[in-house]
Amino acid sequence: MRNLTLCVLALALMAQAVVSLECYHCPNGGRCFTTQKCKDDQDQCITMFFPLSAKYAKRCSSTYECEVMKAMGGSAVKAICCGSNRCNR
């Protein structure tokens, strides 16, 4: 019985282990082959396109920041967010 309890406890702890999201990271546009591990509070990958300067940036982001960037919208910035590894290709 004790072994079963220890196994259940170990499985519960492993299930709580958080694997960091990984996103493409290129703050100045250009070809983007670099990735970065996101911080605990960054659960989204974001791609931002700035139409007025025809530049873009990719990096880790939080859901809140993604919503703010999308709400800004218009001609200033277009933001696309996603929540899986390297989804901001």
Give residue 30's domain range. 20-82
Is 59 a member of any domain? yes
Is 65 a member of any domain? yes
DSSP secondary structure code for residue 45 in this structure = E
- 60: domain CATH number is 2.10.60.10
Assign residue 46 a region: left if phi > 0, alpha if psi is -120 to 50, beta otherwise? beta
Q: Indicate the pLDDT class of residue 28, thresholds 50, 70 and 90.
A: confident
pLDDT in tens, 46-67: 999 999 889 999 999 999 999 9
What are the residue ranges of helices labelled H in the chain? 2-16, 63-72
> Rounded mean pLDDT of the chain?
84
pLDDT in tens, 64-89: 999 999 998 888 899 999 999 999 99
